[in-house]
């Protein structure tokens, strides 16, 4: 009796000591750390990543990095582990950017997996724009803010088992985590030293503890450093090894030790999941499947190791070897715990790879703001006239800054009563601006592909010049002739992207005999000074990529039911083991086999997967995932129509994805939204439309559907020598219908609009 009491007392002390050690580790590692300050950078043109599937599983990947970053600081693109690079990475030097080009072959679908941007040191406040075109026609885009370095690609294709594919990744993450950390393998050896049946029970207690730890972490707001998870497992290994030295009848509190280790490990895993993507709490389904993966791997290894141990004992019986192994295991566990506690870093590598969300769940976004402007042209504050030519798809735009004092005599402002006592009153500013614009048209000539382009005076404004660039005067006021600058924008519509553009200036006599000129295109810029002897500057198309976006209708696909045959078969086996558990037939082993088989069923989702076509009358309303993919194809078509200046051509392009009386409403609303009012109405060139979420999908007339959707629109605008990145967010009620086999927008009701930058 006394011996039993002593055993219980020692076991209780052991358990309390282990919990105290874990608590100390939590308090030490949860202390705030000092981070290096982030560098700032003016970033008008973001890093642009283009991933295009050329054949099944083969992707051409290109990422263009502005030369604001030196080549030694250029980031790398990291694709999932299932993707392997073919050939050498090509780095092409462009006038204003580095273009990286690499071919990848992926053994698993890229959809649903994580893409990362990796910097050699740290991200100097750069935004990254990612676009993906799949062979099946799906297109996705995402803008990584400076605080983000990864993005999970949405599921493409049939979405009936998209959730299961996400669960599969979570299970594989759990297996990879357990196999990739020595401390978990030490835990495996420790529970196997305690016997076959006990090892299964201890593995079950460890899994239950992890789930409880995740729940407590969310409920209590505990977010320790994820290293705590590994430290506590190592401490538990040391105490389990100590228990293995006792006779079987003297071993106590074993399940409590395993559950305690799992509890603190659950804290760490939940903290890692909560920290990824900026979300406040982990995705519970993801956490459950991660634990299922670890649990299944631990059970399989435990059963295998116990079988090997039994064979070893039969062939080479020795009573001292288990004791020696227990002593060695305990010493190693203590050393590992000390190493983790004294080591550097805030999270283990495998936990850093955890993704916080299953498909369909909203992920967080970085909230750090950053400068959205970068000057492309050399500063020339003393130049009487500055000239900026922007060459873009469907338009060449000539923007000119004119110092009013240097052209006042030619415009006869005082003689015509437009300037009195050195000021231009508000009532005269329209006429003064018009005269300056006419003078600029008279003194300049633009040729596009060898032919004289027809000028259109787009706008003219009295300007202010400051750190944010050149801005129109917010409110009209009397302007001093000696100080004021007038901005003129002249547009030259083109049928596409020009091959060559020539700008010619007829210079004036006097101080304006030298005119600084900058020509910009979607990838680079060139600057020069034009004089009477050299009045011409020529641009030739040397773009690495065609900037003209494609516009194609999104077809209405027949409903299909995907069936993962292998997973269904394994699920039936798991159910059979579950029935055995309920009937009490070898409940411990049957319960373990149930979990292992269930994990195998989730992992086997892509194996023997078939799709069965359904009658069109069944499931006519798209799921939220399907509606998201439809909008991801339709909405970019809508925005790309506004790149055409000619309204008739814009309407024709818009009609590909919009139908009925909505055409005019959509055209006017979204063209207005793309205009930067504070910059005189300059329009942003849309580069990314990212669907954030789709909810409340309901049937509509004519076989269509309505849904509430949220999306972001990102683009750049070049304006008087500065390039600005603009991003808006929209929440809207959208109605789509099937028109001749093509999805089209019938109506868009904007519920909320937010300017993000």
**According to the model, what pLDDT value does residue 66 have?**
83
- In the block, residue with structure tokens 């976004």: 365
Residues with Cβ within 8 Å of residue 691, at least 6 apart in sequence? 154, 628, 631, 632, 635, 709, 710, 711
Whole-angstrom distance, CA of residue 318 vs CA of residue 308: 15
Whole-angstrom distance, CA of residue 711 vs CA of residue 373: 23
Tokens of 413: 């402002």
Phi, psi (rounded to 5 degrees) for 607: -80, 130
297-340 pLDDT tens trace:
888 888 888 788 777 767 766 655 677 777 787 788 778 777 77
Whether the Cβ atoms of residue 386 and residue 515 lie closer than 8 Å to each other: yes
486-512 pLDDT tens trace:
888 998 988 888 999 999 988 666 555
Q: Give ranges for CATH 3.10.450.540 in the chain.
A: 616-755
**According to the model, what pLDDT value does residue 455 have?**
92
Whether the Cβ atoms of residue 312 and residue 231 lie closer than 8 Å to each other: no
Structural fold of domain 47-152: Immunoglobulin-like (2.60.40)
Nearest to 657 by CA among 719, 737, 585: 737
CATH class (in words) of the domain with range 616-755: alpha beta
Whole-angstrom distance, CA of residue 27 vs CA of residue 224: 8
Buried b (16+ CB within 10 A) or exposed e, 146-180: bebbbbbbbbbbbbbbbbbbbbbbbbbbbbbbbee
Give the residue ranges of DSSP H helices in 583-658: 587-603, 624-640, 647-654
pLDDT tier, 348 (very low <50, low <70, confident <90, very high otherwise): very low
257-294 pLDDT tens trace:
888 888 888 877 777 766 543 333 446 777 888 888 88
Phi, psi (rounded to 5 degrees) for 288: -60, -40
Q: Give ranges for CATH 2.60.40 in the chain.
A: 47-152
- In the block, residue with structure tokens 């050896």: 189
| Beta-bridge partner residues of 734 | 707, 748
Q: What is the pTM of this model?
A: 0.59
Give the residue ranges of DSSP H helices in 136-226: 162-179, 182-193, 196-220
- In the block, residue with structure tokens 């709490």: 281
Whether the per-residue pLDDT at 22 is higher than 60: the answer is no
Phi, psi (rounded to 5 degrees) for 261: -60, -40
């Amino acid at each position: 009796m006394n011996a039993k009491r002593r055993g219980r007392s020692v076991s209780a002390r052991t358990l309390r000591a282990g919990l105290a050690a874990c608590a100390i580790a939590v308090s030490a590692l949860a202390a705030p750390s000092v981070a290096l300050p982030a560098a700032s950078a003016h970033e008008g043109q973001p890093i642009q990543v283009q991933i295009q599937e050329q054949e099944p599983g083969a992707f051409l990947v290109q990422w263009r990095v502005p030369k604001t970053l030196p080549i030694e600081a250029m980031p790398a693109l990291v694709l999932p582990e299932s993707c392997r690079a073919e050939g050498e990475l090509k780095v092409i030097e462009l006038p204003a950017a580095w273009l990286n080009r690499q071919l990848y072959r992926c053994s698993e679908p890229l959809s649903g997996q994580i893409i990362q941007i990796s910097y050699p040191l740290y991200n100097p406040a750069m935004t990254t724009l990612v676009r993906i075109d799949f062979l099946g026609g799906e297109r996705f885009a995402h803008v990584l803010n400076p605080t983000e370095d990864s993005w999970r690609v949405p599921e493409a294709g049939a979405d009936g088992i998209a959730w299961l594919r996400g669960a599969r990744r979570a299970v594989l993450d759990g297996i990879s985590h357990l196999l990739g950390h020595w401390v978990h393998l030490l835990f495996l050896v420790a529970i196997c030293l305690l016997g076959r049946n006990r090892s299964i029970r201890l593995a079950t207690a460890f899994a239950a503890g992890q789930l409880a730890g995740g729940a407590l972490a969310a409920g209590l707001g505990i977010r320790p450093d994820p290293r705590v998870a590994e430290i506590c497992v190592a401490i538990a290994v040391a105490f389990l090894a100590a228990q293995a030295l006792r006779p079987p009848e003297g071993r106590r509190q074993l399940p409590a030790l395993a559950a305690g280790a799992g509890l603190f490990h659950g804290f760490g895993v939940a903290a890692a999941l909560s920290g990824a993507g900026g979300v406040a709490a982990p995705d519970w389904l993801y956490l459950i499947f991660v634990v299922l993966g670890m649990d299944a791997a631990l059970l399989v290894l435990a059963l295998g190791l116990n079988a090997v141990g039994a064979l070893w004992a039969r062939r080479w019986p020795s009573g001292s070897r288990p004791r020696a192994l227990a002593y060695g295991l305990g010493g190693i566990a203590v050393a590992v715990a000390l190493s983790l506690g004294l080591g550097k870093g805030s999270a283990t590598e495998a936990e850093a790879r955890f993704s916080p969300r299953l498909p369909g769940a909203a992920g967080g976004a970085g909230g750090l703001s950053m400068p959205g402007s970068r000057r492309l042209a050399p500063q020339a504050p003393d130049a009487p006239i500055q000239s900026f030519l922007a060459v873009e798809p469907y338009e060449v735009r000539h923007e000119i800054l004119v110092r009013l004092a240097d052209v006042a005599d030619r415009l006869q402002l005082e003689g015509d009563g437009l300037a009195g006592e050195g000021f231009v009153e508000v009532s005269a500013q329209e006429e003064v601006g018009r005269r300056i614009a006419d003078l600029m048209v008279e003194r300049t000539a633009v040729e596009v592909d060898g032919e004289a382009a027809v000028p259109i005076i787009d706008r003219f404004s009295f300007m202010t010049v400051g750190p944010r660039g050149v801005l129109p005067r917010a409110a009209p006021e009397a302007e001093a002739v000696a100080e004021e600058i007038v901005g003129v924008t002249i547009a030259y519509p083109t049928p596409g992207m020009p091959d060559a553009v020539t700008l010619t200036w007829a210079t004036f006599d006097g101080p304006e005999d030298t005119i600084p000129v900058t020509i910009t295109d979607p990838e680079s810029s060139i600057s020069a000074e034009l004089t009477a002897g050299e009045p011409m500057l020529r641009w030739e198309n040397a773009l690495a990529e065609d900037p003209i976006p494609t516009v194609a209708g999104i077809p209405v696909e027949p409903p299909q039911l995907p069936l993962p045959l292998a997973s269904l078969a394994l699920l039936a086996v798991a159910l059979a083991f579950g029935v055995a558990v309920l009937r009490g037939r070898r409940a411990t082993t049957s319960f373990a086999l149930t979990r292992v088989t269930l994990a195998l069923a989730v992992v086997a989702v892509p194996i023997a997967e078939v799709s069965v076509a359904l009658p069109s009358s069944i499931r006519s309303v798209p799921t939220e995932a399907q509606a998201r993919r439809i909008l991801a194809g339709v909405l970019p078509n809508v925005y790309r129509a506004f790149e055409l200046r000619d309204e008739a051509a814009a309407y024709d392009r818009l009609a590909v994805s919009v139908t009925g009386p909505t055409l005019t409403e959509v055209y006017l609303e979204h063209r207005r939204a793309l205009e930067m009012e504070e910059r005189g109405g300059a329009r942003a060139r849309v580069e990314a439309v990212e669907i954030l979420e789709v909810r409340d999908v309901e049937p509509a007339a004519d076989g269509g559907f309505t849904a509430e959707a949220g999306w972001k629109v990102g683009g750049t605008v070049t304006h008087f020598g500065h390039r600005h990145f603009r991003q808006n967010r929209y929440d809207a009620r959208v109605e789509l219908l099937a028109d001749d086999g093509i999805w089209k927008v019938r109506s868009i009701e904007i519920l909320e609009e937010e300017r993000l930058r």
